[in-house]
Amino acid sequence: MRRPGRTHEVRVGELTLICHVHGRGPLCVVHPGGPGPHGEYLRIPLAERELTMAYLEPAGSGWSGTLGTDVEHLHTVIERLGGDPVFVLGHGHGGLVAQSYAMTHPGRPAGLILYGTTPVAVRAVNGRPVGTARNRPIRTPTLILAGAHDDVAPPDAAGELHAGITGSRLAVFERSGHLAHVEEAERFAHLLIEFTRRISGPYRAAG
């Protein structure tokens, strides 16, 4: 039996961040791309059979002074929602946030899913340099997902991520563009669940 969806409000200073939570099992916080799309465009119902998927509505996106803010917002949401292990899935700009989160909070996420994204550019987060995986290694177990026909984040970018993150896994969706979770939904959910299972073990919900 699946729990009904629920909405969490997380206060960060003067802001209220919204998270739509569906499913049950280990927590996977989903950070969407940007700028501006509603977080639930990234909903992955098939994954909710084994994972608690928390779809974040970020306060803002883009490079203009927001990456560090987005990272700390993500950290606050993860700590408020709680749970261990915690996985982070980032799509597009959300993938940049996820990479930066893993670099600035090493050891907190159990795994990263970097989807339709590129290596993070060198920026400053809280006064500290944040660079690509090559000059500041990401040591978190990482799954990289890419659409073969993605014009936003071409497969070459996924290959660069894969080369820069030791031990990462790369899966390319041959019939997909930027929305493989819709275009090849079953395979996408299978790969996501398989990856999280390897880290957390199979989850069996009671009831």
* Dihedral, CA of residue 6, residue 10, residue 15 and residue 18, to nearest 10: -20
Q: How far apart are CA 174 and CA 4, in angstroms?
A: 33
- pLDDT number for residue 70: 84
- pLDDT number for residue 35: 58
Angle, vertex CA 145, rays to CA 83 and CA 93, nearest 5:
75
- pLDDT number for residue 202: 55
> Which structure tokens are listed for 80?
């408020």
3-state secondary structure of 191: helix
- pLDDT number for residue 72: 87
Give the model confidence (pLDDT) of 31-86 as tens digits. Answer: 998 655 666 789 999 999 999 999 998 875 433 335 667 888 899 999 999 878 99
- pLDDT number for residue 142: 97
3-state secondary structure of 176: coil
Read off the pTM. Answer: 0.85
Structure letter (DSSP) for residue 121 = P
Ordered structural domains, the chain, with CATH: 12-200 (3.40.50.1820)
